[in-house]
Amino acid sequence: MGKNMIRVGLLGMGTVGSGVFEILKMNEEQVRSRAGAGIEVKKVLVRDLEKERPVKIDRKLLTTDPEEVLKDPEIDVIVEVIGGTGVSRQYVEEALRNKKFVITANKDLMATAGAELLLLARKHNRNIYYEASVGGGIPLIRPLKHSLGANKIIRLMGIVNGTTNYILTKMSMENMDFETALAEAQDKGFAEQDPSNDLEGKDAAYKLCILAGLAFSSHVRFADVYTQGINNISKRDIFYARELGFAIKLLAIGEENEKGLALKVHPTLIPLSHPLAAVHYENNALFVVGNAVGETMFYGLGAGALPTGSSVVADLIDVARNINHQVENGIMETEFKTKKIVPTEELFSAFYLRLQAVDKPGAFANLATAFGDEHVSLDMILQKRSVEGLAEIVLVTHAVEEKRFAQALKTIKGFPAIKKINSVLRVFEK
């Protein structure tokens, strides 16, 4: 029963597209046996027919006309690997209207238009698969939808941006400064020439929208996510953090409590004994806490042709099974509600603070009083020998309501003895 061959229209032939093409060739038998059908790329939409490709591909498959792919009645499934939210969105919509299944590796698209697109898919009795949109090759979407389906998810914490993790790892393990680490990441192709989306945490925030949406069955928008980047992290912070028993990681965090959802991306001091602290270089990981399963983690490469291709082809296998068995086997994201977002200032967090103070009697007492007035209690204090009359002080607080910490910080900034607030970072306290 069913089709012997599932035909694919590929939109885009960049890194991910090439990876998909290569895996379908390299693991052809494996894929056929798992899918219960062959999977064949029938047409590929490209911008430039003449461009050199990283994989060998029959010229006859290439076209510059989207209609040739989207309207081909033999094509069962459209794989969108163009990226962005412009034409890619139009193509996906047209594909769904033409009764194609859709697979996308496009996090921007799913984060900004996922809800509408999934509804459109539902309307046409089709589905959108997007395992590759977050975490590259790491299975994240399926585990959240299926394997952990019996859990209320309490917390997600993810290292979901390889560029920033690479930079932070280089700074930590090889004592590199930020600029050198960034330049190396760019050399290796992990960071783009304009790396601001990565460094400012925006890329991670898009991914958090997708993950938190699934975890908390809620439509989450980019604007719901508080975002702080890693631009201001210095080698000194990484050094002090380690001395205090922490690694610094850019974490995408989603939590649900009785007040609603908390959604944040920020550099975080995390205990060295935490599994996320051992996620190095360009690797990604998602740490998930469920009310039944407890703590779990999913780890692997978050980008690259073959890892991301691995997720796309897993989706293709699912689509093939769906086509041949007329199945709806996903959790229906279209039934999600929109949950309340808790403002950051009402959240609780511990803080790390590094500052320069004039080394004279009473300076520290003032500091301590300012914190005490806002009920901020101190967990760790480091003060090394002063240089030229200036003392560098590092403090870690216990968890406190963010607005109280902010108020204390404002007071402290007004003290004449405080010369500079170098860093303010959040600390994850288990």
Rounded to a whole number of angstroms, the minimum distance from the CB of residue 154 to its own copies is 12
Distance CA 49, CA 334 (A): 38
Rounded to a whole number of angstroms, the minimum distance from the CB of residue 91 to its own copies is 23
Closest C-alpha among 225, 184, 233 to residue 208: 225
Rounded to a whole number of angstroms, the minimum distance from the CB of residue 47 to its own copies is 26
Rounded to a whole number of angstroms, the minimum distance from the CB of residue 388 to its own copies is 39
Sequence-ordered list of residues with C-beta below 8 angstroms from that of 20, at least 6 positions apart, any chain: 10, 41, 79, 81, 309, 312, 313, 316
Tell me the β-bridge partners of 77: 8, 101
* 43, 9 contact by CB (below 8 A): yes
Distance CA 349, CA 352 (A): 10
Nearer to its own copies, 294 or 389 (CB): 294
**The one catalytic residue among 207, 235, 264, 337:** 207
Nearer to its own copies, 295 or 379 (CB): 295
Nearer to its own copies, 115 or 355 (CB): 115
Distance CA 183, CA 192 (A): 10
Nearer to its own copies, 244 or 276 (CB): 276
Angle between helices 28-35 and 15-26 (to 10 degrees): 80
Rounded to a whole number of angstroms, the minimum distance from the CB of residue 258 to its own copies is 16
Closest C-alpha among 85, 80, 94, 79 to residue 8: 79
Sequence-ordered list of residues with C-beta below 8 angstroms from that of 112, at least 6 positions apart, any chain: 85, 206, 209, 221, 222
Nearer to its own copies, 277 or 409 (CB): 277
Sequence-ordered list of residues with C-beta below 8 angstroms from that of 128, at least 6 positions apart, any chain: 92, 96, 101, 102, 103, 104, 110, 114, 117, 118, 121
Q: Would you list the DSSP string of 338-361?
A: -PPBPPGGGSEEEEEEEEEEE-ST
Nearer to its own copies, 282 or 374 (CB): 282
Closest C-alpha among 240, 248, 172 to residue 393: 240
Rounded to a whole number of angstroms, the minimum distance from the CB of residue 64 to its own copies is 28
* 336, 219 contact by CB (below 8 A): yes
Rounded to a whole number of angstroms, the minimum distance from the CB of residue 158 to its own copies is 13
* 40, 74 contact by CB (below 8 A): no
Nearer to its own copies, 152 or 375 (CB): 152
Distance CA 133, CA 130 (A): 5
Task: Considering only CA atoms, give the Rg of the chain.
Answer: 24
Nearer to its own copies, 74 or 328 (CB): 328
Contact residues toward its own copies (CB under 8 A) are: 19, 23, 26-27, 30-31, 33-35, 131, 137-139, 142-143, 146-152, 217, 273, 275, 277-280, 285, 290-301, 304, 306-307, 309-314, 316-318, 321, 325, 327-329, 331, 335
CB 136: neighbour CB atoms within 10 A?
A: 28
Concerning whether 207 is annotated as a catalytic residue, the answer is: yes
Rounded to a whole number of angstroms, the minimum distance from the CB of residue 295 to its own copies is 6
Q: Which tokens hold the place of 277?
A: 């602290």
Q: Which residues are catalytic?
A: 207
